[in-house]
């Protein structure tokens, strides 16, 4: 929807109109004042959080933000981010979340696209790599060309952009409240008395709603590790010995932890839950063998939040749809019933039509159990010389080969290309030989690129843009590359 501003749309519903006025105070901030709710290095109790939100409420109002106004947040994971977000929602403003790792050019494009009245950034941009959180002093700046909200949405997010340009996606306060209610019905998801270690980005749906908002709502204290290394994550998990702990992240984080040769004893680790992309074959078993707990998986979208789960790991690769989800298959594509389009200003019947969201994911629905198995993106099915090739199948076979830690397979300019993250001593000729044994000739990638690691989006998803992958292969050859 390039060129379409949310603020250019006709206002039909006041922001937050489908949720109680006090939903932030009642659902997210309520609770005993001395109760720990967050930990960014040091514990934060609810009295402290409420005071910080009150302070940011005054600062945003002083910058001109009012009910029905618009604000964009460009803040790293931090206590400041949480306080500004909740304060803006208290003001009944529409909040757009921008990843703090975006360049100034990208921020400029996003601001031009969204037209917020206020932009909140950090006084000093964090520069330390692999930091899980930062200490920031939020600064609210009034933008002269910003416009008030034109839709009744409380939250505006940009999709990950792993397969192309990011989409503008909007959700109402009622949508968020309904998703929180849904999480509370999941028996194996963190609730009161539990604890969460969050690795996912708080500007995207799993980290924001499944992590931050659910932890505040369920009164399950949330910890963000000081460093997003394997050692840093494990230290955060083991730092609180009194509460059952769930780790929430993306498959990359599970791969990182499964690769630890001798992890510490973590008696209160209950499970890890990942979402965002398909889990490679063998990873759930490898993670459980290492830690003795399940690797749960979830399927969701920025447009809807959580859709289906397998939190115990017993259904993999199938998942149980959450209560209230209306799923159906149309020509192999998973579609989900929604009352309205989540794409404000975008009239595209290939994304949403007649009350159905087109996920563009291929899936299988079991008519007996209702379980859904997501197979991958529908655009992963291509035709080579009149023969159908499923790129997801090729990718999973490659990822399961010895010496291959990750694989991305794309179709570009009429050819299949594979980009492989390899270990230092991987024999590339052996990889080619094994691939020839397992895949028919017409399915084999025309090109195999071997890299020490694969490029990812800011949220940890594997990048699937062919041009970016080719650039990474050119500039980052592995140390043992043989051509």
Kindly state whether residues 278 and 193 are assigned to the same domain.
yes
Q: What is the CATH number of the domain that holds 187?
A: 3.40.50.12780
Instruction: Give mean pLDDT, residues 44-49.
Output: 98
pLDDT category, 125, cuts 50, 70, 90? low
Helix (H) or strand (E) holding 118: strand 118-122
Q: CA-to-CA distance for 132 and 226, rounded, in angstroms?
A: 5
Percent of the chain scoring above 90 in pLDDT: 65
Q: CA-to-CA distance for 376 and 411, rounded, in angstroms?
A: 14
Find the length of the chain: 483
Judge if the upstream peptide bond of residue 317 is cis by omega within 30 degrees of 0. yes
Q: What SS3 string covers 243-285?
A: CCEEEEECHHHHHHHHCCCCCCCCCCEEEEEECCCCCCCCHHH
- Residue 160: pLDDT over 60: no
Kindly state whether residues 151 and 7 are assigned to the same domain.
yes
For residue 316, CA distances in Å to 205, 284, 309, 336, 457 come to 22, 9, 9, 21, 25
Q: How far is CA 353 from the centre of its chain?
A: 25
Kindly state whether residues 370 and 392 are assigned to the same domain.
no
Kindly state whether residues 307 and 229 are assigned to the same domain.
yes
Please tell me which residue, 117 or 167, carries the higher pLDDT value.
Answer: 117
| Residues 192, 220 contacting (CB under 8 angstroms) | yes
Q: How far is CA 275 from the centre of its chain?
A: 7
pLDDT of residue 1: 34
- Residue 45: pLDDT over 80: yes
Q: Which domain holds residue 240?
A: 173-316
Kindly state whether residues 234 and 202 are assigned to the same domain.
yes
Instruction: Give mean pLDDT, residues 305-324.
Output: 95
pLDDT category, 413, cuts 50, 70, 90? confident
Kindly state whether residues 300 and 392 are assigned to the same domain.
no
Rounded to 5 degrees, φ, ψ at 252 are -55, -40
Q: Which among 267, 284, 316 is the end of a domain?
A: 316
Characterize the bridge pairing of strands 327-330 and 333-337.
antiparallel
Q: Which among 143, 171, 199 is the end of a domain?
A: 171
Kindly state whether residues 310 and 403 are assigned to the same domain.
no
Please tell me which residue, 476 or 332, carries the higher pLDDT value.
Answer: 332
| Residues 97, 195 contacting (CB under 8 angstroms) | no
pLDDT of residue 2: 40
Is residue 21 situated within a structural domain?
yes
Kindly state whether residues 198 and 297 are assigned to the same domain.
yes
Kindly state whether residues 366 and 263 are assigned to the same domain.
no
The closest alpha carbon to 410, from 437, 457, 376, 365, belongs to: 376
Kindly state whether residues 114 and 148 are assigned to the same domain.
yes
| Residues 115, 7 contacting (CB under 8 angstroms) | yes
pLDDT in tens, 57-96: 999 999 999 999 999 999 999 999 999 999 999 999 999 9
Percent of the chain scoring above 70 in pLDDT: 92
Q: CA-to-CA distance for 332 and 65, rounded, in angstroms?
A: 46
Characterize the bridge pairing of strands 245-249 and 195-198.
parallel
| Residues 230, 214 contacting (CB under 8 angstroms) | no
Q: Which among 120, 139, 171 is the end of a domain?
A: 171
Q: What is the CATH number of the domain that holds 395?
A: 3.30.300.30
pLDDT of residue 3: 41
pLDDT in tens, 428-468: 999 999 988 888 888 889 889 999 989 887 667 788 888 88
Q: Flag whether the pTM goes above 0.85.
A: no
Kindly state whether residues 35 and 56 are assigned to the same domain.
yes
105-144 in b/e form (b: 16+ CB < 10 A) is eebeebbebbbbbbbbbbeeebeeeebbbbebebebeebe
pLDDT category, 164, cuts 50, 70, 90? very low
Contacts of 269 (CB under 8 A, 6+ apart): 237, 245, 247, 291, 293
Kindly state whether residues 258 and 308 are assigned to the same domain.
yes
DSSP-H helix ranges across 322-400:
391-399
Q: CA-to-CA distance for 206 and 157, rounded, in angstroms?
A: 12
Number of domains present in the structure of the chain: 4
Is residue 321 situated within a structural domain?
no
Identify the weakest region by mean pLDDT among 230-244, 421-435, 464-478.
Answer: 464-478
Q: CA-to-CA distance for 23 and 443, rounded, in angstroms?
A: 52
- Torsion-angle region of residue 115: left (phi > 0), alpha (psi -120 to 50) or beta? left
pLDDT in tens, 199-229: 999 988 999 999 999 999 999 999 999 999 9
Rounded to 5 degrees, φ, ψ at 335 are -125, 150
Identify the weakest region by mean pLDDT among 141-155, 226-240, 448-462.
Answer: 448-462
Q: CA-to-CA distance for 189 and 209, rounded, in angstroms?
A: 13
pLDDT of residue 475: 57
For residue 163, with 0-12 CB atoms within 10 Å meaning exposed, 13-18 middle and 19 or more buried, which class applies?
A: middle
Average pLDDT, the chain: 89
Q: Residue 136 has which token pair?
A: 């920031």
pLDDT of residue 4: 47
Is residue 482 situated within a structural domain?
no
- Residue 163: pLDDT over 70: no
pLDDT of residue 355: 94
Is residue 234 situated within a structural domain?
yes
């Amino acid at each position: 929807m390039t060129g379409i501003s949310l603020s250019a749309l006709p206002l039909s519903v006041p922001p937050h109109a489908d949720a109680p006025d006090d939903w932030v105070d009642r659902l997210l901030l309520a609770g005993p004042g001395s109760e720990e709710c967050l930990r960014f290095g040091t514990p934060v109790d609810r009295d402290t959080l409420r005071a910080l939100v009150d302070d940011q409420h005054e600062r945003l109002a002083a910058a001109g933000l009012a009910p029905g106004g618009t604000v964009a947040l460009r803040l790293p994971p931090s206590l400041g981010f949480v306080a500004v977000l909740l304060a803006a929602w208290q003001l009944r403003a529409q909040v757009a979340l921008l990843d703090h790792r975006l360049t100034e050019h990208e921020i400029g494009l996003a601001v031009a696209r969204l037209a917020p009245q206020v932009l909140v950034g950090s006084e000093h941009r964090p520069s330390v790599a692999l930091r899980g959180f930062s200490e920031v002093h939020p600064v609210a700046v009034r933008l002269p060309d910003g416009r008030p909200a034109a839709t009744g949405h409380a939250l505006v997010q940009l999709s990950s952009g792993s397969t192309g340009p990011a989409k503008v996606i909007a959700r109402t306060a009622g949508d968020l409240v309904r998703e929180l209610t849904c999480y509370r019905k999941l028996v194996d998801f963190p609730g009161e008395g539990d604890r969460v270690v969050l690795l996912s980005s708080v500007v995207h749906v799993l980290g924001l709603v499944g992590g931050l908002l659910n932890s505040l709502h369920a009164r399950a204290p949330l910890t963000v590790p000081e460093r997003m290394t394997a050692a840093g994550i494990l230290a955060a998990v083991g730092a609180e010995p009194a509460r059952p702990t769930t780790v929430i992240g993306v498959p990359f984080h599970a791969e990182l932890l499964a690769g630890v040769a001798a992890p510490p004893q973590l008696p209160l680790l209950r499970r890890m839950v990942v979402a965002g992309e398909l889990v490679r074959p063998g990873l759930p078993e490898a993670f459980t063998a290492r830690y003795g707990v399940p690797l749960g998986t979830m399927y969701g979208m920025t447009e809807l939040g959580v859709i289906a789960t397998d939190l115990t790991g017993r259904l993999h690769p199938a998942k149980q749809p959450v209560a209230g989800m209306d799923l159906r298959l149309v020509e192999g594509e998973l579609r989900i019933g929604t009352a309205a389009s989540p794409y404000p200003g975008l009239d595209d019947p290939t994304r949403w039509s007649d009350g159905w969201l087109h996920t563009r994911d291929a899936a299988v629905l079991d008519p007996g159990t209702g379980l859904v198995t997501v197979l991958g993106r529908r655009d992963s099915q291509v035709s080579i010389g009149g023969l159908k090739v499923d790129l997801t199948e090729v990718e999973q076979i490659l990822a399961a080969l010895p010496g291959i830690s990750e694989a991305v397979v794309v179709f570009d300019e009429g050819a299949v290309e594979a980009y492989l993250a390899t270990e230092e001593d991987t024999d590339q000729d052996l990889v080619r030989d094994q691939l020839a044994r397992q895949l028919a000739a017409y399915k084999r990638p025309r090109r195999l690129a071997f890299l020490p690691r694969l490029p990812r989006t800011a949220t940890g998803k594997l990048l699937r843009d062919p041009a970016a992958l080719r650039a990474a292969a050119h500039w980052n050859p592995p140390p043992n590359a043989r051509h």
